[in-house]
Amino acid sequence: MQLDILKAKAPPLFGLDISSSSVKLVEIVDAGKGAYRVERYVIEPLPRESVVDGNINQLEAVAEAVKRGHQRLATRTKHVAMAVPTGAVITKKIIVQAGLREEDLEVQVESEANQYIPFAIEEVNLDFQVLGPSPSNPDEQEVLIAATRKEKVEDRIAVAHLAGLKPLVVDVESYAQQAALSLVIGQLPNHGLDMNIAVVDVGGNTMNVTVLRNDQSVYSREQAFGGNQLTQDIVSRYGMTLDEAENAKRSGGLPDDFEAEVLRPFMDNLSMEVQRALQFFFTSTQYNAIDHILLTGGSAVIPGVDEAVQARTQVPTSVANPFAAMQTSPRIQMKRLMLDAPSLIVACGLALRRFDPV
């Protein structure tokens, strides 16, 4: 979904995901015959506290990281697709009369939005997308409204400009995630049709659980648990600084008892949090089963985490890799890409905006 940015035929672009710990840049190109190729990607770490809860606190520091990432990406492409955090966006489905002209639809959307948005309309970026005919009345159509505070969009655009880039699309993280995950779900039995698929995104501080059914989100919940818990556990156990613990977590070199004493308990806790999230899903919806769990986010790369979650929940679990069915350019190390894939979901979904129809 585009937020108040250009609607014309997009020139080549790459996806830029600004998370709390790093910026991720992904460029995907057309490989012909409907196939995609991962051309290049970069993960550039961010200074601690520069992005907190989706808010960019240190504009220059984030822009510098993006600039370094873009230099390492070594692409001529300057156009970029970015996303605002899902939690910063209010979405609402409305029903309007079918066949409205674009300008009449805009007026109606704005008047409807006034009822649902707790801010003055001039303080928000507002966009809408016609979803199709209303299931209950062919004379009406469903429209999805999305609104976010202008500063959320403006901060990201400012970062891009400071880094010498041209923002072309501002999406919503959850929509970008779904675009990438549709490639993963397509690999499941019967292409995932009529399956309840729990997407568990384990970030630094939070775990987001979204249940998708036939490409629609039917449930979403955020829990206060993330990969930073493992970093803190390493700090407590081995007396390291936070930065030392973070580096050791990524590159190895921890004491022999790390796996048994620190990593295994963390994976058990993560599995229990997933199980709790599924219980909340069952008690608050009409569904009583999950058919598959997809793990995304930085902690999904921990070897064996999918087996731990599957053992605890008794639900088939896999690590999401949207690149599995794509070709890759010779400059990409396949082993590295497989490890990084779960944390590149949003950036991948943004990179796919290059292939949007006009």
Please give the residue that has the higher pLDDT: either 6 or 127: 127
Q: Mean pLDDT in the chain?
A: 91
Specify whether 201 is located in the same domain as 93: no
Specify whether 68 is located in the same domain as 158: yes
Specify whether 206 is located in the same domain as 64: no
pTM score of the predicted model: 0.88
Burial class (CB in 10 A: 0-12, 13-18, 19+), 281: buried
Q: What is the pLDDT of residue 5?
A: 44
Specify whether 201 is located in the same domain as 311: yes
> Does residue 342 contact residue 177 with C-beta atoms inside 8 Å?
no
Q: Provide the number of structural domains found in the chain.
A: 3
Q: What's the CATH code of the domain at 114? A: 3.30.1490.300
Residue partners of 49: CB distance under 8 A and separation at least 6? 57, 58
State the amino acid at position 168 in one-letter form: L
Residue partners of 314: CB distance under 8 A and separation at least 6? none
Specify whether 183 is located in the same domain as 264: no
What is residue 3's three-state secondary structure? Answer: coil
Specify whether 82 is located in the same domain as 92: no
Least confident segment among 83-92, 138-147, 173-182, 247-256: 247-256
Q: What is the pLDDT of residue 6?
A: 40
User: Taking the CB of residue 264, how many other CB atoms lie within 10 A of it?
Assistant: 13
Specify whether 238 is located in the same domain as 299: yes
- How many CA atoms, within 13 angstroms, populate the side-chain half-sphere of residue 29? 9
- Residue pLDDT, tens place only, 191-233: 999 999 999 999 888 899 999 999 888 999 989 999 999 999 9
- Residue pLDDT, tens place only, 152-185: 999 999 999 999 999 999 999 988 999 999 999 9
Q: Which residues pair with 317 in a beta bridge?
A: 293
Specify whether 248 is located in the same domain as 280: yes
Q: How far apart are CA 225 and CA 205, in angstroms?
A: 6
Residue 120 lies in domain: 88-149
Q: What's the CATH code of the domain at 66? A: 3.30.420.40
- Residue pLDDT, tens place only, 340-356: 999 999 999 999 999 98
Q: How many residues does the chain have?
A: 358
Give CA angle at 305 (302, 310), nearest 5°: 165
Specify whether 334 is located in the same domain as 291: no
Specify whether 28 is located in the same domain as 158: yes
Q: What is the pLDDT of residue 1?
A: 47
State the amino acid at position 289 in one-letter form: A
Q: What is the pLDDT of residue 9?
A: 53
Q: What is the pLDDT of residue 10?
A: 56
Specify whether 115 is located in the same domain as 76: no
Q: Alpha carbon of 108 to those of 50, 95, 96, 100, 143: distances in Å? A: 39, 10, 8, 10, 11
Specify whether 71 is located in the same domain as 158: yes
Q: Residue for token digits 């290049």?
A: 40
